[in-house]
Amino acid sequence: MSLWDDLLTPEDREVIRRAGYGRPQGLGQRPVVVVVDAQYNYCGGDCPILEQLDAWPSGAGEAAWRAVEVIARLLSVARRRGVPVLYTRQVHKAELFDGFSAKAGRDPGAYLEEAPGTRIVAPLKPGTGDLVIEKSAASAFCGTPLLGILIKLQADTLLVTGGSTSGCVRALCVDAVSYHFKVAVITDAVFDRITASHKVALLDLWMKYCDLLSLEEALRYLEALPLGAGPC
């Protein structure tokens, strides 16, 4: 049973079946693990989302922290196998200047680069040799050196984790596929504030853009790669 089964009508299921959506694309041999915006602002507190919402209005709460646990396991194996790890970090350089979204009307000061909430959460602290890309748009390809870095690494595959599933994760995935990278979203390593948004985003990505893998599937993929299958 798929995560989104409860959202689909019989007609939807038939469209997916007959139109050929969701066929696996497969992965390459030179992956990079991408951790999207695993920051305190977006993870929030490790408790039910409503309990932490006043302190962390853009936080996903306990769903994010369960994903953080999964991401930590994935990163441990990736580093051991010599696969590059790349983080994105959502920051604004000046109030209301380079932020891409003002619809929520939140305090812009919380998202400035020096604000505590912009730090990557402690369990996922970048290690020596990991790359951190600062961004101010939904897609990490927008206005950053990400594409050049991936080309220099000779990467052909992105394993995507982080949040939010329907926002910055989805934006990154669509752009990555547009640049002809193979992409897999690790389903238990992504998170969102809204359950419906999370499910629909994964459905749409699976149908049209990328593969979806569980943590265990991703670990088997990494373990099967030659050691040092990452950077050139």
pLDDT tens digits for the chain (232 residues)?
Answer: 689 999 999 999 999 999 999 999 999 999 999 999 999 999 999 999 999 999 999 999 999 999 999 999 999 999 999 999 999 999 987 655 555 555 566 777 888 888 999 999 999 999 999 999 999 999 999 999 999 999 999 999 999 999 999 999 999 999 999 999 999 999 999 999 999 999 999 999 999 999 999 999 999 999 999 886 655 5
Q: Give the model confidence (pLDDT) of 95-131 as tens digits.
A: 555 555 555 667 778 888 889 999 999 999 999 999 9
The residues spanned by each domain of the chain are 27-224
Report pTM: 0.93
How many other CB atoms are there within 10 angstroms of residue 123's CB atom?
A: 13
Contact in structure between 178 and 142 (CB atoms under 8 Å): no
Between the CA of residue 137 and those of 38, 92, 172, 212, 218, what are the distances in Å? 15, 9, 10, 24, 27
How many angstroms separate the CA atoms of 20 and 84, rounded?
Answer: 33
Could you check whether the bond before residue 76 is cis, i.e. omega within 30 degrees of 0?
Answer: no
Q: Choose the CATH number for 27-224 among 2.40.50.100, 1.10.287.310, 1.10.3720.10, 3.40.50.850.
A: 3.40.50.850
Structure tokens at 40: 């305190």
Q: Give the model confidence (pLDDT) of 29-57 as tens digits.
A: 999 999 999 999 999 999 999 999 999 99
Cα Rg of the chain, angstroms: 17
